[in-house]
């Protein structure tokens, strides 16, 4: 018998030959960022991994729609549908019974949680599955000499307040704006990270596009163009470094996105309604979170959650003890962050505890080979900021200690080395983090 889960195998036997082909066993709706390529690739690989044959991806009935078909070991045909019209459409489809799994490139909104309450708690650790990390890249024409922008400058440009390239130190010429459409999670992320915190709205002259690929290609052909896109869709355009507040400008590199330090980093999600209990959806989530699934995430240009060690160059602007740490140890490609308004680790962080444990055990690094470094946002009392940052590191230590990890050291650096502005809630949340260093 193949590795197809036993429940799915017996379901296959119970249905007539044509039933699987006519009625999809799994309907995925939502993010174009996920659904354009990554989603179909994960579904295809999951089916192949479970022993199904003749697995193929084909276009659906409309643009940005695909279906994956396969044949089980006893000849039953099945079909999985993937419609990628934007994150908001995924949650709407769940509400109306038109989807079994929502793909989203932003977190679920409170209003969506309320609307979907009858399907169970979609913010629970089982329902809210972070499947990859992505960076919203700000792109320009490859010949544009601009190298970096602040989030404040970015907001003013896309609000239409800065209309000429001369206003950001370049030659003269009107700035042409390109943006994803209203259904897009990429747009929602950009709006929430850049525009809304600064009281800005997107300029009406911006060209709105549903397709990530088309937006990137249009910018790469327009010397006056600027747009934003998910990291895998930079293509022929060039991505800018982005700075937020007092934080150093950062390029959308894999290591800075993996740790979510890059100002426009974001999480990609599968939302699995507890009340629906679709076995194919559960199988897809399990496969996606496996090493094989995360390898596919990386293959398609996103940042996987596989833990890796990173050599961080020591620089003069680092505190002395942190500079010494960079010289002696390597930083893991994961930052532990906390649920909003809470001292508890968020869903991703709890999953990352298990990933870090697996990494340490595989390398024999569970006894005094790890240092945790906590950070926080600025406080009126610097001593309080220092204490809170250390307490955050102790929260992570408690989780690791439950599985037998003995640390070398715990440090709290307070509000040092911010990765985002402390003038806004979103920035303060990003600055409250814990790094893992391994000797």
Rounded Cα–Cα distance for residues 255 and 309 (Å): 10
Confidence tier at 427 by pLDDT (50, 70, 90) = confident
Intrachain domains 134-258 and 307-438 with the same fold = no
Q: What is the pLDDT of residue 17?
A: 41
Q: What is the pLDDT of residue 15?
A: 45
Task: Look at the domain 6-127+272-299 and name its fold.
Answer: D-Maltodextrin-Binding Protein; domain 2 (3.40.190)
Name which residue leads in pLDDT, 21 or 169.
169
The architecture that CATH gives domain 134-258 is 3-Layer(aba) Sandwich (3.40)
Contact 199, 100 (CB under 8 A): no
Find the length of the chain. Answer: 439
Rounded Cα–Cα distance for residues 200 and 155 (Å): 7
CATH 3.40.50.2000 for domain 307-438, yes or no, is no
Domain residue ranges of the chain, discontinuous segments joined by +: 6-127+272-299, 134-258, 307-438
Distance of CA 73 to the CA centre of its chain: 35
Q: Is 384 left (phi over 0), alpha (psi -120 to 50) or beta?
A: alpha
Average pLDDT score, the chain: 92
Q: What is the pLDDT of residue 62?
A: 93
Rounded Cα–Cα distance for residues 431 and 428 (Å): 5
Rounded Cα–Cα distance for residues 147 and 241 (Å): 6
217-221, 275-279, 401-405: segment of lowest average pLDDT? 275-279
Q: List helix spans (H) across 117-235.
A: 151-158, 185-190, 212-220
Q: What is the pLDDT of residue 19?
A: 45
Q: Is it the case that residue 3 has pLDDT exceeding 80? A: no
Beta-bridge partner residues of 130: 269
Rounded Cα–Cα distance for residues 365 and 386 (Å): 27
Contact 3, 292 (CB under 8 A): no
Q: What is the pLDDT of residue 18?
A: 43
Rounded Cα–Cα distance for residues 93 and 95 (Å): 5
Q: What is the pLDDT of residue 13?
A: 45
Q: What is the pLDDT of residue 2?
A: 44
Rounded Cα–Cα distance for residues 371 and 342 (Å): 23
User: What average pLDDT does the segment 89-117 reach?
Assistant: 97
Contacts with 114 (C-beta within 8 Å, 6 or more apart), sequence order? none
Confidence tier at 16 by pLDDT (50, 70, 90) = very low
Contacts with 155 (C-beta within 8 Å, 6 or more apart), sequence order? 194, 195, 198, 200
Q: What is the pLDDT of residue 301?
A: 87
Rounded Cα–Cα distance for residues 34 and 41 (Å): 10
User: What does the pLDDT look like over 48-58, one tens digit per residue?
Assistant: 999 999 999 99
β-strands 330-337, 309-310 pairing:
antiparallel
Name which residue leads in pLDDT, 116 or 301.
116
Q: List helix spans (H) across 267-319.
A: 279-289, 291-299
User: What does the pLDDT look like over 68-102, one tens digit per residue?
Assistant: 999 998 899 999 999 999 999 999 999 999 999 99
User: What does the pLDDT look like over 267-292, one tens digit per residue?
Assistant: 999 999 999 889 999 999 999 999 99
Q: Is it the case that residue 167 has pLDDT exceeding 90? A: yes
User: What does the pLDDT look like over 325-374, one tens digit per residue?
Assistant: 999 999 999 999 998 777 899 999 999 999 999 999 999 999 999 999 99
């Amino acid at each position: 018998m193949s590795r197809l889960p036993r429940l799915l195998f017996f379901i296959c036997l119970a249905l007539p030959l044509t039933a699987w082909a006519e009625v999809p066993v799994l309907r995925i709706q939502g993010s174009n960022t996920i659904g354009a390529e990554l989603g179909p690739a994960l579904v295809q690989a999951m089916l192949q991994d479970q022993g199904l044959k003749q697995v193929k991806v084909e276009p659906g009935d409309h643009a940005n729609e695909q279906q994956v078909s396969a044949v089980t070991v006893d000849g039953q045909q099945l079909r999985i549908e993937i419609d990628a019209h934007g994150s908001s459409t995924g949650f709407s489809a769940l509400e109306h019974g038109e989807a079994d799994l929502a793909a989203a490139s932003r977190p679920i909104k409170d209003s969506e949680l309320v609307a979907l309450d009858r399907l169970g708690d979609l913010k629970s650790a089982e329902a809210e599955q972070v499947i990859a990390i992505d960076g919203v890249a700000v792109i320009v024409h490859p010949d544009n000499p601009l190298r970096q922008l602040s989030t404040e400058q970015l907001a003013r440009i896309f609000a239409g307040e800065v209309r000429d390239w001369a206003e950001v130190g370049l030659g003269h010429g009107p700035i042409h704006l390109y943006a994803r459409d209203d259904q897009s999670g990429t747009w929602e992320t950009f709006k929430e990270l850049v525009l809304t915190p600064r009281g800005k709205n997107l300029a009406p002259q911006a060209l709105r596009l549903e397709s990530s690929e088309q937006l990137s290609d249009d910018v790469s052909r327009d010397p006056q163009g600027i747009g934003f896109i998910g990291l895998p869709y930079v293509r022929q355009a060039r991505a800018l470094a982005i700075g937020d507040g007092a934080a150093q400008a950062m390029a959308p590199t894999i290591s800075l996105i993996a740790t979510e330090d890059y100002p426009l980093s974001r999480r990609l999600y599968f939302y699995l309604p507890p009340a629906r209990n679709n076995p194919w959806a559960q199988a897809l989530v399990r496969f996606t979170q496996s090493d094989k699934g995360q390898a596919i995430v990386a293959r398609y240009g996103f940042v996987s959650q596989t833990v890796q060690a990173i050599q961080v160059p020591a620089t003069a602007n680092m505190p002395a003890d942190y500079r010494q740490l960079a010289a002696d140890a390597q930083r893991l490609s994961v930052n532990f962050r906390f649920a909003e308004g809470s001292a508890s680790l968020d869903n991703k962080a709890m999953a990352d505890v298990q990933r870090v444990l697996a990494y340490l055990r595989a390398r024999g690094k569970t006894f005094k080979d790890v240092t945790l470094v906590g950070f926080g946002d600025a406080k009126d009392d610097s001593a309080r900021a220092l204490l809170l940052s250390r307490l955050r590191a102790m929260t992570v230590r408690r989780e690791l200690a439950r599985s037998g990890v003995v640390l070398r050291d715990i440090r709290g650096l307070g509000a040092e080395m911010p990765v985002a502005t402390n003038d806004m809630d979103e920035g303060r949340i990003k600055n409250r983090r814990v790094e893992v260093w391994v000797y």
